[in-house]
Structure 1
Amino acid sequence: MTEIMLKACLNGSRRFGEHPALPLTPLQLAQEAREACEAGASAVHMHPRDETGRESLSAAHIGAAVREVRRACPGMPVGVSTGLWISGGDAGERRRAVRGWAGLPPEDRPDFASVNLSEPGFAELWHDLRELGVDVEAGVWSTADAEALAASGLECLRVLVEIIGGPAGTAVSRAHAVLARLDELGVPGRRLLHGEEEPTWILVDEAGQMGLATRVGLEDVLHSPVGDPVAGNADLVRLAMARLT
């Protein structure tokens, strides 16, 4: 798999109406993915939805979204979320849904999936994904998550250092604390650093200065670095690329 400098996070858990270009259907995800790719993104991360617009881990919805994105962006690595909230907080139900991906042809399965270390059942889910041929991105939100990852002994495609919530003014120091703890514990895997909402652009810049992979998209932020509205994911990718190159 191609190493990622900038990943486009297309929609996240945002709801219909939060942004005019927010992609929810497989065709909308494919269009946004293609435009993000053309703007410079080297992978995409998405939260597929059911027919009502709710996030879903079912094989039918995962497969449909992955299939359309692959048609639109041949060769681009495609990833999905496995956030526990998608299954209503039920780790067993999440695992059953993901194991259902075995019924999909390999080409309709994602290349990688993010697994949050703060959520129960992460190790079992990790093994299920690897049996399916899906790589794992470790979602590390804190030094405690870094310690949990190290203790698990599990290896991943990438370690996502995700600075979620909190004041923008402390985002960089919190990121460095997590990165330092990962290094202290000898956790392998390439690091990807990103934030959400106000800290997004601060951490895109920090990742660029540190030579780390990063991400941007409507999941994380709805405005430019100066607060202007953006047209969609491709607009955000172009803005980020200009800051990283």
Structure 2
Amino acid sequence: MALDYDRKDCFIVEGKLALPYSYFAGRVGSTFITTLRDKKKIMGVKCPVCNKVYLPPRQTCERDLTDIRDNWVEVQPTGEVVNFTVVRYDDKHLPRKAPFVMALIKLDGADTPMVHILDGIAPEEVKIGMKVEAVFASSPTNTILDISHFAPKKPEKAFVSERKPAGAKEEEPVISEEEKLLKERRKAMSKKVIITAALAGAATMKNQIPSVPYTPQEFAEEAYKCYKAGAAMVHVHAREDNGMPTHDHKRIKDTHDAIKEKCPDIIVNLSSAVGMGKTPEQRISQIIHVKPEMASLNTNTMNFSIIDRKTGKIFIDFVFENTFTMLQDFGKAMEENGVKPEVEVYDLGGLDNWFLISKQGFFTKPYNFNFVWGVAGGMAFRPDMFMVLKNALPEDSNFTTCGVGIEQFPAVTMSCLVGGHMRVGLEDNIRIPTGELAKGSYEQVEWAVRIAESLGREPATPDEAREIMGLKKR
């Protein structure tokens, strides 16, 4: 039976319960607070791998998991409002009486924002992007409130030199001719887009599209057509005469050399995937033997299947093995043999895998990445995820992209639009945007050129592509 007492029937003792406690701010938090209190300096931590500066500081870089707790850097007490909210209720635990503004503020020199009070301005006048500066507490609090609050930054007073009349032009900094040329060159190269033609892959067959190459001579002819259409690089999976992918050193070298003989300028990027069922040694030994200018470097073990996208029927079910040891050993072998890796990224996890192995320090800048969309087992093309990958790249990186089937042209268009490069070809898709079968990879290159030019970019020549990607011509 439930008991239902009125308050008047109960014996109640009113009182307060206080519990003494000690709170440890942690090693990183303690350094941050004591430096703020004693020196009125705001300190962040910087990742030595990706150069990201975190504020508030933390122990580990979220991007590449590096221990950063001892890599302290001072950030400026000035910054800008990234976002804000107005607190409109009172509570004894709040630091101000309502209404007041809590703002997300990114300080100059930091890459992440911190939350703090914004005072000295009416809430309705606060705007995202406004410049603010820290106001330090007059006496220590041993908390984050040693920054009492942030306030709108005061405009700097104009300085008038006593040696110059008011209104005189400031002298421009002296820039050397070499620096001017380098700046102009970088600006010019930013308009260039590298177009790659993936000529065959391991699965596209002549019964699907007759123009897919099998023999070394067919590869050479198709590569030349792609070069004339505007491609700077071809990506190659060598084939036997019957169309099966091969790891045979002689066949791969014959294919590579036939392309270079027909089209000496073009960059040849060999696949280290080769085909299904090949051992790690078979996959990397052909790269070491041929020594192309560039080769693909895959980043994660994954499902890599062929599935009917309308019905979900599975035609080929395959696990594509790329262990950390393979990523390490393949990457080292390429760098040691003068072969520039093109890092194949099928999802964000693959990029994180590369970040982990890159800590060993053998990858050389600039880094070159290829975002791969539409593989059954990888990611479908999504513009928002494209930007996540792009924004996660390390400094000194180039990126291109490719998409399987109907995802090919939307993906390469976006890549070109946001400053990246483009890969097309029969390995990824056998049709052009109209839905018709492509006459060859070269016709897809022609479409890529049109897209690039419509977006104000120009196809890079092979030598310009080498300059952008850090390749040495063979």
TM-score, normalised with respect to structure 1 = 0.86
Alignment of 1:179 with 2:361, yes or no, is no
Q: Work out which of the residue numbers 227, 240, 244 in structure 1 matches 2:448.
A: 240
Contact residue 126 and residue 136 of structure 1 kept, 8 A: yes
Matched residue type, 1:116: N
1:127 corresponds to 2:348? no
CA distance in 2 between counterparts of 1:168 and 1:110 reads 29
Q: Supply the distance in 1 between the matched residues of 2:336 and 2:227 (Cα, whole angstroms).
A: 29
Matched with 1:28 is 218
State the Cα deviation string for residues 197-236 of structure 1 (Å, max 9, x = none): 1110101210121121111111111111121222111111
1:17 aligns with 2:17: no
Cross-structure match for 2:280:
91
Q: Is the 8 A contact 2:193 2:416 kept in 1?
A: no
Q: CA deviation at 1:40?
A: 0.7
Paired residue secondary structure (1:145): helix
Q: Where does 1:120-159 land on structure 2 (aligned, <5 Å)?
A: 120=323, 121-153=326-358, 154-155=363-364, 157-159=367-369
Answer with 153-162 or 217-226: which moved more.
Answer: 153-162
Structure 1 or 2, whichever has the larger Rg, is 2
Quick check: 1:192–1:212 contact (8 Å CA) kept in 2?
Answer: yes
Q: 2:372 aligns with which of 140, 144, 162?
A: 162
Partner of 2:262: 72
**What is the count of residue pairs matched by the alignment?**
233
1:110 Cα offset (Å) = 1.5
Residue 7 of structure 1 corresponds to: 196
The Cα of 1:128 is off from its aligned counterpart by 1.4
Structure having the larger proportion of residues in strand: 2
Question: Take 1:46 and 1:150, find their aligned partners in 2: how far apart are those partners?
Answer: 26
CA distance in 2, matches of 1:215, 1:97: 23
1:37 match: 227
The CA distance in 2 between the partners of 1:86 and 1:45, in whole Å, is: 14
- Which has the higher relative contact order, 1 or 2, with Cα contacts under 8 A spaced 6 or more apart? 1
Of the three residues 206, 219, 228, the one matched with 2:427 is 219
* Structure 1 position 164, deviation (Å): 3.0
Superposed CA RMSD? 2.3
Q: Which moved more, 1:12-21 or 1:64-73?
A: 12-21
- Please state how far the C-alpha of 1:26 moved relative to its aligned partner: 0.5
Aligned-pair CA distance for 1:157: 4.7
8 Å contact kept, 1:5–1:214 = yes
Instruction: Give the aligned residue type for 1:204.
Output: V
**Partner Cα separation in structure 2 for residue 175 and residue 61 of structure 1:** 36
Distance 1:170 1:233, change over 3 A: closer
Moved over 6 A (4+): 166-169
Q: Would the alpha carbon gap of residues 170 and 163 (structure 1) be closer, same or farther in structure 2, given more than 3 Å must change?
A: closer
Listed one character per residue, the Cα deviations across residues 132-172 of structure 1 (whole Å, up to 9, x for unaligned) are: 22111001111111111111113465111111336998532
- Quote the offset at 1:75 in angstroms: 1.5
Q: SS of 2:382's equivalent? A: helix
For residue 78 of structure 1, report the CA deviation from its aligned partner.
Answer: 0.7
* Higher share of residues assigned helix: 1
Q: Tell me what 2:298 maps to.
A: 116
Moved more, 197-206 or 160-169: 160-169
TM-aligned CA distance change 1:161 to 1:169, over 3 Å: closer
Check whether the contact 1:200–1:221 (CA below 8 A) recurs between aligned residues: yes
Note closer, same or farther for the CA distance 1:22–1:111 as it changes in structure 2 (3 Å cut).
same
Deviations 1:109-140 (A, max 9, x none): 32110010111212101111222221110011
Q: CA deviation at 1:95?
A: 3.5
Q: Distance in 2 between matches of 1:64 and 1:157?
A: 28
- 1:79 Cα deviation (Å)? 0.9
Quick check: 1:163–1:174 contact (8 Å CA) kept in 2?
no
Question: Could you tell me which residue of structure 2 aligns to residue 190 of structure 1?
Answer: 398
Give the 3-state SS of the residue equivalent to 2:400 in structure 1: strand
- The Cα shift of 1:98 comes to 3.9
Measure, in 1, the Cα distance between the counterparts of 2:272 and 2:400.
17
Aligned amino acid, residue 124 of structure 1: D
Shift of 1:44: 0.8
Asked whether the equivalents of residues 214 and 243 of structure 2 are also in contact (C-alpha less than 8 Å), the reply is: yes
Question: Structure 1 residue 189: deviation in Å?
Answer: 2.2
Unpaired runs of at least 5, structure 1: none
SS, match of residue 292 in structure 2: coil
